[in-house]
Amino acid sequence: MTRKYIASLLLCLPVFLGTVEAATPEKITETEVLFLYESRNKISMNMHDIAIQYSKEYRDATDEFSQQELSTKIYAEITQKINAAAAQEKVAFTTEIKISTYNFDTNSFETNVSASSIINFGYYALAFTNGADFSNLHSPVEQAKKIRAAADNNGYITITIDADIMSTSKENLMLGETKIVYAKIQKLEIVDSETPIATWHASN
């Protein structure tokens, strides 16, 4: 399975969404980000284009007549999901970040989370308004040992993120026009076998 993780945008561009009440958040997907974006930008919605992104059955239809036959069912599903997403104010999901070697001078791990961090799926993406708050994770030595033990050999570690949905924007990134949902991270938690071992909160 391809690893999806938070990547930092430098000069080039280097998933179930649920409410924060979800007991075990899942990995984020493009489909869920699609509905969050389109539910907030109904003026630009094109049901056919969304159906192409959403439904493999619709996408693989042999011609426009086959798509037309599917459209009633698929468009109804899309409308239902967009209405649900419109009422959603928070997201919670699981992903991976990379941590550096522990810095004993600052008692922290540097991460690959930054002000320009983005989870990019191509047409849609989830970005963070306060990623810089989590570029260094301060941790006492004993806690840091547990964090290191939970990371893989390349420094990747599983986290859960709770965030507030803030805004949307359509921007031209390196891979072309991308529809972006912006969220403010409220809580970042490192987990090991679904057990939290360290938690950080937004600075404000």
For residue 73, pLDDT beyond 90: yes
Task: Give the mean pLDDT of 128-149.
Answer: 96
Q: Is residue 148 part of a domain?
A: yes
Q: Is residue 79 part of a domain?
A: yes
Q: Is residue 29 part of a domain?
A: yes
Q: Which residue range forms the structural domain that includes residue 143?
A: 7-201
pLDDT, tens digit (0-9, with 9 covering 90-100), for 75-96: 999 999 999 999 999 999 999 9
Q: Is residue 2 part of a domain?
A: no
Q: Is residue 1 part of a domain?
A: no
Compute the mean pLDDT over every residue in the chain, rounded to the nearest whole number.
86
As a whole number of angstroms, the distance between CA 199 and CA 191 comes to 9
Vertex 119 angle, CA 196 and 80, to 5°: 90
The number of distinct structural domains making up the chain is: 1
pTM over 0.85: no
Q: Is residue 93 part of a domain?
A: yes
pLDDT, tens digit (0-9, with 9 covering 90-100), for 25-57: 788 899 999 999 999 986 667 899 999 999 999
The better pLDDT of the pair 190, 44 is held by: 190
As a whole number of angstroms, the distance between CA 36 and CA 125 comes to 10
Which residues pair with residue 190 across a beta bridge?
159, 198
Q: Is residue 100 part of a domain?
A: yes
Task: Give the mean pLDDT of 60-87.
Answer: 95
